[in-house]
Amino acid sequence: MIAITGIGIVSAYGVGKDAFLSGAIKGTGIGLIEHFNTEPYSVRNGGCVKDFVPKLYIPPMKARRMSRFSQLALVSALEAWKDSSFKENYDTSEIGIIVGTGLGSVSSTDSFYVGLLKRGPQETNPMIFPETVQNIAAAHISIELGFGGPNTTFSEAAIAGENALFYACGLLKNDMARAVLVTGADELTEPLLGGMDALRVFSKSDKSRPFDIMRDGLLPGEGACTLMLERKEDAIKRDAHIYGEILSFGFSSEPVQRLNYSSSGAMADAIKSALINESPELIIASANSTKELDIREALAIRDTLGRNVPVTAITSLTGFFMSSGVMKAGAAMLFIEKGVIPPIWGLGKPEIDGLRYVLKTEGLKIRTALVNGFSHGGSNVCIFLRGIN
Amino acid sequence: MSRKAVITGIGILTAIGGNLQEYWNSLCRGVCGIGEVTLFDTSGYHGKLAAEIKGLDPPGKRLSRCDVIGLIAWDEAANNSGFRSINIPPERIGICMGSGSGGLLSAEVFRRQAIKTGKGRPGLLIPFATYAFTDLLSLKAGIRGPKATISTACSSSSTAIGLSAEWIRQGLCDAVITGGSESLSETTFAGFNSLRAVDEVPCRPFDRERKGISLGEGAAIIIVEELNHALKRGAKMYAEITGYGIAGDAYHVTAPEPEGTGIVRAIEMAMKDSGCKSEEIQYINAHGTGTPANDLAETNAIKSFFGERAYSIPVSSTKSMIGHCLGAAGAIEAVAAILPFIKGVLPPTANYKNSDPECDLDYIPEPRKMCPETVLSMSVAFGGNNTALILRRIEQ
């Protein structure tokens, strides 16, 4: 079994897992987007990491050269590494770094290209170009922490984090690493918001309300979460704090157009294949306040798990970002550890009845959770986790 | 019995060939596809050349040039593998692609429209994401199993092939569509030029006078299948993927670690993964970009891992013919690496003329007759992402 022994979160609630949990149970992290001008676009609200001062965590000269994507990812990785209290002698080449991201740093690609258009081929900025590749965050993490183990980056729609976690578990099971830091990170910057707006995915009412009958599109978010993973026996041997373990994954996909979701039946297949003989006690849903996804996910949950399993949705806390799977898994561990579940903020009247939606912050003693990753493009990944409470 | 992953279909499109036979024939003759660029104006750059695919139709609605190139390769792979009549439930077929810049060329058009008129055509953004081609191909192929996209710049599709084999071996899938597609874009062209990493003449990997890369574009789509299934249906098998390894340099965002220690770790993991011994490797398809730093680091890594035997292993870089196809490079080069299994010829390092005292391995400037049993394909990327892939010949 694979144990989770460190959690680092940078979210709309600020830096740190404690800030995340204490904020999440009080209210949504979504609010006015302030780090760029949203005037030209159709939404004002999003789940931005506010008051983020990277140089508090990263040497200032290095932080200045990094994209927001790299900064968010690196700070979450530093937090998770610290949280893991990994101290004994270790070989730096035995620690892996696996990152999942939706689009990496679109702002770097955009500013490099706009610089080229404005100033011509001889005046482009060579400092920005490296930040345009998706694997740049994993590079920074490996350089800052000095870890030369297995290193790769998954760039996916909304299953980037889930795929990164699955891959990291495989590395540990095959004994290709002693420990792996798994990061899911995405930035919210103006060109990304502009692009998503052009594709008309945003809420017309500027509100995020997963599963609600009135929902009318998503609100964008950003953030990063890193989990430290080790084989359970290794974690026990070093007397690590174990949040919980990753039990199993389930996959499915369906051939659909690139912006569409799979059917609820395919989503149900992913849920069923992740759960072996056991029902979860909590579901961290994928629902993102879009018309298409939420209804299908609700039906998939109702058809597979019935009406009694509490359902909450992280997108109501942080807004939508593609690599949120790692944060969903980290959040599940924190909710189980503290015995408290934040609600689906913004949900008033559900479209699909008969699910046990968490509507206000609840104290619940639970041990297991299911993380749903249902993405546009038709791919689905579910993760079944067990916490230690 | 342990499961094995074999290649049963290949489709490929590069500047030196519109299909697999053309590609292999060009490699056997050392044809260089690097020349003038017609996609956009390169007159303002220091390095003006690239291995562009000529005569492609412009992409249709909601498609990028990357999609167009990839779909042509897919069609060939589907045909020569018999994929469309394969008897595997769609839930047991996965897709795992590598991609560097995805449909960036389309996003550039969007950006120019937006600057000019205040509004870009939204359809141009649909194929933009790095994962967009994966989703398109899974739709075309009717995939219902696991789906993933690796994006580690120049080693993306090499890792994707390794991961596909892992999915087969661990029992997650019975067949996986893998590989990668990449098109030229102004951003990457300007980017490598801004780093002063582009040669003025077609790139000269391992040559003493080498000055940098030549960019390229292309796609290789590969069908990986579980061995027993392939045997049962009598499929043509091109090679076995016995294992792969990945490792980070933890050194610098663009420069490779000079001693190649990260590359060595990737090779070590690949050896462990495939249960292969170093003396079994008889040919190395190097990353060989043609930059002074990369080729030296790679040479150092080969010497460090193989010791004295490094001098007797033929090493070549096919980038001298197809250019550097970034996210698709690993897959296109893996197909070059299995050429000797099929044709009994090692692809050469074209444009190689002057020996470098620091890079002193056997870089085979001319095609060479040889039938190796086991080969190593290496990929090295920006950000220090190294991948090693081990491929083995299959007796037909």
* DSSP-assigned letters across all residues of A175-219: TS-SEEEEEEEE---HHHHHHHHHTT-B-TTS---TTBTT--SB-
Q: Is the confidence at residue B1, as pLDDT, over 70?
A: no
The neighbour count for residue A201, using CB atoms within 10 Å, is 18
CB < 8 Å to B162, chain A: none
Q: According to the model, what pLDDT value does residue A389 have?
A: 62
Which H helix or E strand runs over B186? Answer: helix B186-194
Q: Which residues of chain A have pLDDT under 70?
A: 389
* Residues B190, A104: C-beta atoms closer than 8 Å: no
Neighbours of B268 (CB within 10 A): 16
Going by their DSSP bridges, the two strands B239-248 and B5-13 should be labelled as antiparallel
Chain A residues whose CB is inside 8 A of the B190 CB are 112-113, 116, 121, 124, 129
What are the chain A neighbours of B127 within 8 Å (beta carbons)? 258
Contacting residues of B for A379, CB less than 8 Å apart: 135, 138, 146-147
Give the C-alpha separation, B251 to A144, whole Å.
9
CB contact under 8 A, B248 and A154: no
Q: Mutate which of A144, A171, A173, A258 to test chain B, going by most B C-beta atoms within 10 A?
A: A258
Q: Which residue of B has its CA nearest to A258?
A: B135
Give the C-alpha separation, B327 to B337, whole Å. 17
In the block, tokens 């994966």 appear at: B134
Q: How many CB atoms lie within 10 A of CB A276?
A: 10
Contact B147 A139 (CB under 8 A): no
Of A116, A146, A155, the CB nearest to B186: A116
Average pLDDT over residues B58-68: 96
Query: Token digits for A89?
Result: 């002698």
One-letter amino acid of B120: G
Give chain B positions within 8 Å (CB) of A255.
Answer: 138-144
- Inform me whether the pLDDT recorded for B70 exceeds 90: yes
- Separation in Å, CA of A321 to nearest CA in chain B: 14
Going by the DSSP 8-state scheme, the letter that residue B362 receives in this structure is B
* Rounded distance between C-alpha atoms, residue A51 and residue A67, angstroms: 16
Interchain pair A151, B384: CB under 8 A: yes
CB contact under 8 A, A142 and B248: yes
Q: Is A251 in Cβ contact with B249 (below 8 Å)?
A: no
Smallest Cα distance from A62 to chain B, Å = 11
- Pick from A129, A143, A149: which is nearest to B247 by CB? A149
CB contact set of A152 (below 8 Å; sequence gap of 6+): A98, A99, A135, A138, A167, B150, B152, B159, B246, B385
Say how far apart CA B296 and CA B290 lie, in whole Å.
Answer: 10
How crowded is residue B32: how many other Cβ atoms within 10 Å of its Cβ? 18
Beta strands in A195-322 (DSSP E): 223-231, 244-253, 283-285, 310-313
- In this model, does residue B80 exceed pLDDT 90? yes
Q: How many helices and strands (H and E) does chain B possess?
A: 12, 14
User: How would you classify the pairing of strands A95-101 and A151-155?
Assistant: parallel
Q: What is the pLDDT of residue B69?
A: 98
Measured CA to CA in angstroms, residue B105 lies from A107, A123, B197 at distances of 16, 20, 21
**CB B384 to CB A195 under 8 A?**
no
Any residues with CB less than 8 A from the CB of B181 and at least 6 apart, and which?
B66, B67, B69, B70, B73, B97, B99, B133, B218, B219, B221, B327, B328
Closest to B195 (Cα-Cα) out of B160, B155, B158, B153: B153
pLDDT value at B72 more than 70: yes
Beta carbons within 8 Å of B231's beta carbon, 6+ residues apart: none
Selecting from B91, B110, B132 the residue whose C-beta is nearest the C-beta of A252 gives: B91
The verdict on a CB contact (< 8 Å) between A133 and B382 is yes
Contact call for residues B102 and B129 (beta carbons, < 8 A): yes
Contacts of B307 (CB under 8 A, 6+ apart): none
Distance in angstroms (rounded) separating the CA atoms of residues A24 and A325: 17
CA gap B50, B54 in Å, rounded:
11
- Which run of H or of E encompasses A298? helix A291-305
Cα torsion for A176, A180, A186, A187, to the nearest 10°?
-120
Calculate how close chain A gets to B31, using CA atoms only, in Å: 30
| Predicted model pTM | 0.98
For helices A291-305 and A264-274, give the axis angle rounded to 10 degrees: 50
Q: A255 and B91 in contact by Cβ < 8 A?
A: no
DSSP string across B76-88: HHHHHHTGGG--S
Quick one: average pLDDT of B86-97? Answer: 97
Distance (Å) from the C-alpha of residue A34 to the closest C-alpha of chain B?
23
Angle, alpha carbons B289-B294-B296 (nearest 5°): 120
Rounded-to-integer distance, Cα B239 and Cα B244, Å: 14
Whether residues A117 and B112 touch (CB distance < 8 A) is answered with yes
Which tokens belong to A108? Answer: 């770097």
* CB contacts < 8 A (A, B): 221
- Closest chain A residue by Cα to residue B44: A121
Q: Measure the CA–CA gap between B114 and B343, rounded to whole angstroms.
A: 50
Nearest to A132 among B44, B136, B187 (CB): B187
Q: Nearest 5°: phi and psi at B271?
A: -65, -45
- Rounded to a whole number, what is the distance in Å from the CA of B191 to chain A's nearest CA? 6
Nearest residue of B to residue A167, measured between CA atoms: B163
The verdict on a CB contact (< 8 Å) between A258 and B193 is no
Q: How far apart are the first and last CA of chain A?
A: 17
DSSP assignment, residue A261? P
Cβ(A135)–Cβ(B152) below 8 Å: yes
Contact between A170 and B104 using a beta-carbon 8 Å cutoff: no
Contact B146, B86 (CB under 8 A): no
As a whole number of angstroms, the distance between CA A94 and CA A103 comes to 28
The answer to whether the CB of B178 falls within 8 A of the CB of B157 is yes
| Nearest chain B CA: its distance from A239 CA (Å) | 28
Q: CA-based angle B184:B186:B192, to the nearest 5? A: 85
Across the interface, whether the CB atoms of A138 and B159 are under 8 A apart is answered: no
Residue A374 φ then ψ, to 5°: -120, 120
CA distances from A70 to A223, A319, B102 (A): 11, 19, 20
Taking residue B85's Cβ as centre, other Cβ atoms within 10 Å add up to: 8
Tell me how close the Cα of A257 comes to any Cα of chain B, in angstroms. Answer: 7
In chain A, which residues have their Cβ closer than 8 Å to the Cβ of B112?
117
Preferred mutation among B71, B105, B134, B144 to probe A, highest tally of A CBs within 10 A: B144
Where do the DSSP E strands lie in chain B? 5-13, 50-51, 93-98, 147-150, 175-182, 215-216, 218-226, 239-248, 283-285, 315-316, 345-346, 368-369, 374-381, 385-392
**Which residues of B have a catalytic role annotated?**
154, 287, 324
Residue from A71, A105, A108, A129 whose CB has the most chain B CBs within 10 Å, to mutate: A129
In chain A, what percentage of residues exceed pLDDT 90? 97
Q: Do A259 and B129 touch (CB under 8 A)?
A: no
CA distance B377 to B337: 6
* Closest residue on chain A to B131 (Cα): A156
Q: Which residues of B touch A125 (CB under 8 A)?
A: 194
Tokens of B243: 């294992």
Quote the minimal CA–CA distance from A206 to chain B in Å: 21
Question: Which residue in A152, A186, A190 has the most chain B C-beta atoms within 10 A of its own C-beta, making it the best mutation to test that interface?
Answer: A152
d(CA A227, CA A329): 9
CA B253 to chain centre: 21
Best to test chain A binding among B150, B163, B263 (most A CBs inside 10 Å): B150
From chain B, pick out residues whose CB is under 8 angstroms from the CB of A147.
248, 250
Tell me the C-alpha distance between B15 and B323, whole Å. Answer: 8
pLDDT in tens, B120-147: 999 999 999 999 999 999 999 999 999 9
Q: What is the rounded average pLDDT of the residues B350-364?
A: 98
Element (H, E) at B302: helix B292-306
Q: Which residues contact B330 (CB under 8 A, 6 or more apart)?
A: B98, B154, B155, B156, B157, B158, B159, B160, B161, B180, B377, B379, B387, B389
